[in-house]
């Protein structure tokens, strides 16, 4: 028996309530129940997303919860996710470090909704998830090049790091939508800032989604609502942030609680603002002293 649903203007066929693609209904009781019990509950709740207007994303019932193999061999499962993102959805996807709440870079209302869901202050920068160096070249000024004055061309060195667990702070280009670099304030310290954190995750699921998008995704990290700790289990993420307004969660397995290494490439030599999963290369300067407010502001609320 087959059942169907419509994602945008394309119909998708799913097996009868298969565990691979299901509609998530957040639990009102303890989050300590096993993934198996959650899966069984989802199977008994055959709800589907419905769209009454192709230009607007609407949701009824629960959020879409998709279990995907970490190797992304089952790419067909991710096609509805891409459709949802293109229509303005805000959801959770895995990366090579942590899970990220992400949305379409070009959708202003989706970005505002992402900030509301995560309760991110408008002064805190976000990062973009890129599929290739072509995306980085389009939305940033690129990586520093040699100038004949002792500053080496770092592009070759960066290519050894990407895809990988790094966030590089670069100067944003005019192609990057203003809402991605505006910080909602006229304060002097934000007035001239036009930097953006760039990620190119080495994760099969994430890259498969990014490949089908016409632009990078804007993203932020995921922590417990009242605790400064990373959330690494997609089941708990769905339980916690589903009621806050998430539209979908892509489950690629539990992650290790380690964020990316953040490197500021706007000054020479490049400085490590946060040491994370990515190894420190010889051309990166790791400073031991405490960061000032301006440096802290550069660190994105991201993965």
What are the extents of the domains in the chain?
Answer: 70-86+101-219+254-298
Please compute the mean of the pLDDT values over residues 157-179 and round it to a whole number: 91
Confidence (pLDDT) at 199: 96
Contact (CB, 8 A) for 262 and 300: yes
Of residues 125 and 105, the one with the higher pLDDT is: 105
User: Class assignment of domain 70-86+101-219+254-298?
Assistant: alpha beta
pLDDT band at 110 (very low <50, low <70, confident <90, very high): very high
* 252 to 27, 45, 76, 274: CA distances (angstroms): 20, 22, 14, 25
Q: Are strands 91-94 and 217-221 parallel, antiparallel or unpaired?
A: unpaired
Averaged pLDDT for residues 259-278: 92
For the chain, what percent of residues have pLDDT higher than 90?
49
C-alpha dihedral sign at 211, 252, 65, 111: negative
The whole-model pTM stands at 0.76
What CA–CA distance (Å, rounded) separates 216 from 6? 24
Least confident interval from 12-16, 30-34, 85-89, 296-300? 12-16
Q: pLDDT exceeding 70 applies to what percent of the chain?
A: 68
What's the pLDDT score for residue 43? 34
List, in sequence order, the alpha helices (H) in the chain. 35-43, 79-86, 108-118, 133-139, 155-159, 178-181, 188-191, 204-212, 234-241, 293-298
| Sign of the torsion formed by the C-alpha atoms of 38, 39, 40 and 46 | positive
Phi, psi of 294 (to 5 degrees): -65, -40
Report residue 124's pLDDT band, with 50, 70 and 90 as the boundaries.
Answer: confident
* pLDDT value at 200 more than 60: yes
């Amino acid at each position: 028996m087959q059942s169907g649903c419509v994602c945008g203007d394309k119909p998708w066929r799913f097996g009868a309530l298969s565990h691979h693609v299901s509609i998530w209904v957040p639990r009102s009781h303890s989050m300590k129940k096993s993934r198996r019990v959650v899966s069984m509950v989802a199977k008994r709740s055959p709800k589907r997303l419905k769209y009454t207007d192709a230009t607007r994303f609407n949701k009824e019932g629960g959020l879409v919860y998709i279990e995907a193999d970490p190797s992304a061999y089952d790419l067909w499962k991710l096609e509805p996710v891409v459709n949802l993102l293109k229509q303005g959805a805000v959801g959770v996807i895995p990366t090579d470090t942590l899970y990220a709440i992400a949305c379409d870079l070009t959708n202003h209302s989706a970005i505002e909704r992402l900030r509301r869901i995560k309760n991110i202050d408008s002064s805190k920068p976000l990062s973009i998830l890129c599929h290739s160096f072509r995306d980085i070249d389009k939305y940033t000024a690129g990586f520093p090049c040699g100038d004949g004055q002792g500053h080496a061309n770092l592009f070759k060195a960066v290519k050894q790091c990407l895809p990988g667990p790094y966030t590089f702070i670069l100067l944003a280009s005019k192609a990057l939508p203003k809402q991605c670099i505006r910080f909602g304030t006229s304060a002097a310290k934000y007035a001239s800032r036009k930097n953006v954190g760039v990620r190119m995750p080495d994760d099969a699921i994430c890259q498969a989604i990014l490949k089908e998008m016409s632009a990078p995704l804007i993203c932020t990290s995921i922590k417990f609502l009242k605790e400064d700790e990373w959330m690494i289990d997609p089941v708990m993420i769905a339980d916690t942030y589903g009621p806050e307004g998430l539209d979908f969660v892509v489950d690629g397995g539990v992650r290790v609680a380690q964020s990316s290494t953040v490197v500021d490439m706007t000054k020479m030599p490049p400085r490590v603002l946060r040491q994370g999963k990515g190894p420190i290369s010889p051309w990166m300067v790791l400073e031991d002293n405490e960061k000032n407010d301006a440096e802290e502001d550069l660190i994105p609320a991201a993965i």
